[in-house]
Amino acid sequence: MRANFVLSEIGVGLRRNITMTFAVIVSVALSLSLLGGSLLAREQVSSMKDFWYDKVQVSIFLCNKNDAESGDPACAKGAVTEEQKLEIETDLEKFDIVDQIFFETAEEAYEHYQEQQKDSPIAAVVTPDQMQESFRVKLHDPEKYEVVSTAFAGREGVHSVQDQRALLENLFQLLNGVNIAALALMALMLVVALLLIVNTVRVSAFSRRRETGIMRLVGASSFYIQTPFIMEAALAGLLGALLACVLLVGGKYFLIDNFLDTRIAVIDFVGWDAVMSVLPFLLVVGALMPGIAALFALRKYLKV
């Protein structure tokens, strides 16, 4: 009977404010899907970091004839000689931090280039002698790149030392930037959602002031008076959170599984387990946050 009473009050309240309730549901859904999305994106970035940092190397590009003739300042003394190559290799082996050393010939570099740039018109005009020879150095700790860089940059026959991590770092920074933007947008949506909830509660409290006034005078506890309002907000928030869950699952299914995964094989996208672990969190946030917002609104708009 009590449950019935509370439930019917909630039902009446939600229907009375149908447009406002709908706005609350949509804004909660949007902000929570942004939150869930950015949580998943963070997971994606960190798993990609683990995966790629394992593979990255420091590349020491050596001068070729082309560089020397075109007057590249790093290669002013001409193309790299066999002695210089040997010297670099023995020096590299002396470093403790170096794990493995590979030597990539110009031909190999050419092949890799052709493979990667298959569809590019430039690939057709590039010749093997334009490619640079290089040492590919794998470090025990990729963070120690500086040591290799200072030791070999500027040495005769060395064109440049490149940390591949830096290339990835740019990508990760971009992803992080997108992530932060998503979070900022989420925060904004969240503020909108909370303001909407406060306003909904205000309207709701106003339209039921007669009932609440009587409840107050006959000595109903403030908990009893406030519960329907809070449950109303929590229910609307929960519906929004459910919608957010549907959006995330849909995004995972349609965007990642059926689109990106089939086209980009090199990236290991977030799995269903990660998506599923985010959903309960969204539901809890979706129900709690509007409930708490409603409680604060009631303190202001419902005298008890």
Partner 1 sequence: MIRFDSVSKVYPRTNAPALREVSLEIERGEFVFLVGSSGSGKSTFLRLVLREERCTHGTVHVLGKDLGQLSNWKVPQVRRQLGCVFQDFRLLPNKTVAENVAFAMEVIRRPRAEIRKRVPWVLDLVGLGGKEDRMPGELSGGEQQRVAVARAFVNQPKLLIADEPTGNLDPQTSVGIMKLLDRINRTGTTVIMATHDAQIVDQMRKRVIELDKGRLVRDQHRGVYGYQN
Which residues bind to partner 1, rule: CB under 8 A? 1-2, 5, 210-211, 213-222, 224-225, 304
Minimum separation from the CB atom of position 247 to partner 1 (A) = 38
Residue with Cβ nearer partner 1 (17 or 31): 17
Instruction: Report the nearest approach of partner 1 to the CB of residue 230 (Å).
Output: 16
Which residues does 182 contact at the CB level (< 8 Å), separation at least 6? 34, 37, 38, 41
Q: Which is nearer to partner 1, 71 or 219 (CB)?
A: 219
- The residue (of 97 and 304) whose beta carbon lies closer to partner 1 is 304
* Residue number with CB closer to partner 1 (3 or 122): 3
Residue 13 CB, nearest approach to partner 1 (Å): 14
- The closest alpha carbon to 43, from 184, 175, 171, belongs to 175
CB closer to partner 1 out of 2 and 263: 2
Q: Using CB atoms within 10 A of its CB, is residue 180 exposed (0-12), middle (13-18) or buried (19+)? A: exposed
We find the least distance from the C-beta atom of residue 215 to partner 1, in angstroms, to be 5
How far is the CA of 87 from the CAs of 61, 74, 84, 91, 103, in angstroms?
A: 15, 18, 5, 6, 13
Of 283 and 295, CB closest to partner 1: 295
Identity at 166, one-letter amino acid code: A
For residue 302, the minimal CB distance to partner 1 (Å) is 13
Q: How far from the centroid of its chain's Cα atoms is residue 233's Cα?
A: 30
Q: How far is the CB of 218 from partner 1 (least distance, A)?
A: 4
The kind and range of the H/E element at 69 are: helix 65-69
CB-based burial, 76-112: b 16+ in 10 Å, e otherwise: eeebbeeebeeebeeebeebeebeebeebebeebbee
